[in-house]
């Protein structure tokens, strides 16, 4: 049953991504060049709303903290983030939006997904070398959170309650989403249809 639920949630998420324009590299390019902030506003609103709901749910006992997974901090994460950002800017896709675009029939997205799979395979083959380089060694305490979450098995970098910090940061993201203008430059509002 859980795999069916995961497929249904993934399908719904993909439909929403396609509907808001996240599977169109033109929209993503305009967002990353700060010409049109519609997509950025949507992303900030979604992250903020999700953060408020998750951390408020934890405080109310509706969300079990044990399901929270914190990834280990290490230098390779920052290097990978830079590579992901560069790839996103060059291709107009991130991994999720690339799969959605491929599912909607964009041929360029099929090449993007294939490249991502080849990159993942290359990483797996060369993993021992990356591990030996020290780039995968834990930094800043390894698995840590910004604030301390009661019942979590992770240390907090500050004594601030993590649930409260998560709600405050979520509200800041929501406020920024509403405060940002739709466009920073004069450009036609019409977008090119997906291929």
Query: What pLDDT, in 10s, does the model give residues 19-55?
Result: 888 888 988 888 888 888 988 999 999 999 999 998 8
| Neighbouring C-beta atoms of residue 29, cutoff 10 Å | 16
Residues 25 and 13 sit within 8 Å (Cβ to Cβ): no
Question: Strand, helix or coil at 161?
Answer: strand
| Mean pLDDT confidence for 90-103 | 90
Q: What pLDDT does 73 receive?
A: 80
pTM listed for this prediction = 0.75
Q: For residue 99, name the pLDDT band (cuts at 50, 70, 90).
A: very high
pLDDT digits (tens, 9 = 90+) for 107-141: 999 999 999 999 999 999 999 999 999 888 888 77
Which of these, 193, 189, 184, lies nearest to 35 by C-alpha position? 184
DSSP code of residue 66: G
Q: What pLDDT does 68 receive?
A: 72
Q: What pLDDT does 28 receive?
A: 87
Higher-confidence residue: 176 or 75?
176
Residues 44 and 178 sit within 8 Å (Cβ to Cβ): no
Question: Strand, helix or coil at 21?
Answer: coil
* The pair of three-digit structure tokens given for residue 30, joined into one six-digit string: 């305009």
CB burial class (10 A; 0-12, 13-18, 19+) of residue 18? middle
């Amino acid at each position: 049953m859980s795999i069916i639920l995961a497929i249904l949630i993934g399908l719904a998420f993909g439909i929403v991504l396609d509907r808001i324009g996240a599977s169109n590299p033109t929209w993503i390019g305009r967002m990353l060049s700060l010409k049109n902030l519609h997509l950025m506003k949507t992303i900030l609103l979604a992250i903020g709303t999700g953060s408020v709901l998750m951390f408020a749910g934890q405080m109310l006992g509706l969300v079990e903290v044990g399901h929270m997974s914190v990834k280990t901090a290490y230098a390779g994460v920052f290097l990978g983030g830079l590579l992901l950002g560069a790839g996103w800017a060059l291709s107009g896709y991130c991994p999720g939006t690339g799969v959605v675009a491929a599912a909607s029939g964009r041929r360029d997205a099929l090449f993007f997904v294939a490249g991502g799979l080849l990159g993942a395979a290359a990483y797996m083959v060369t993993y021992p070398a990356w591990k030996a380089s020290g780039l995968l060694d834990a930094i800043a305490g390894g698995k840590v959170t910004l604030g301390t979450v009661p019942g979590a098995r992770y240390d907090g970098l500050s004594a601030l309650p993590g649930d409260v910090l998560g709600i405050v940061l979520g509200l800041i993201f929501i406020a920024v989403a509403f405060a940002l203008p739709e466009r920073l430059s004069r450009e036609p509002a019409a977008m090119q249809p997906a291929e």
